[in-house]
Amino acid sequence: EAAVTQSPRNKVTVTGGNVTLSCRQTNSHNYMYWYRQDTGHGLRLIHYSYGAGNLQIGDVPDGYKATRTTQEDFFLLLELASPSQTSLYFCASSHSPWTGHSDYTFGSGTRLLVI
């Protein structure tokens, strides 16, 4: 069954710590996205990718790096985590938006706490 799988489900790290969030999709989608969800702000786009090796900057990229190693795998990196990055992170995938059917398939989320 096509899916988007995120790991870990929960993560606690200290300020200044190094964190990697993983996302794998089996939908054969080219496009993948990383969002953060915060009360009052909704879903905000951090980084996204059109395909393996491609990376695009989203709306709230500061403090985050990302890497798309294969069509299936998209990673979000926090190299110096700060408390402001405490959030619920979602990965999503979709077909090419140019088809006009930008239905996203979301992962189950990673809850990150930076103390």
Contact footprint for another protein (CB under 8 A): 4, 33, 35, 40-45, 48, 90, 96-98, 100-104, 106-109
Long-range (24+ apart) CB contacts under 8 A made by 42-49 are: 43/90, 46/76, 46/89, 47/76, 49/74
Distance in Å, CB of 80 to another protein, minimum? 27
Distance in Å, CB of 114 to another protein, minimum? 21
- 17 or 88: CB nearest another protein: 88
- 1 or 100: CB nearest another protein: 100
- 18 or 41: CB nearest another protein: 41
Distance in Å, CB of 12 to another protein, minimum? 18
Q: Within a 10 A sphere around the Cβ of 17, how many other Cβ atoms?
A: 15
- 7 or 17: CB nearest another protein: 7
Please tell me the distance from the alpha carbon of residue 90 to that of residue 106, in angstroms, as a whole number.
7
Is the Cβ–Cβ distance between 5 and 24 less than 8 Å? yes
Please tell me the distance from the alpha carbon of residue 37 to that of residue 109, in angstroms, as a whole number.
9
Distance in Å, CB of 112 to another protein, minimum? 16
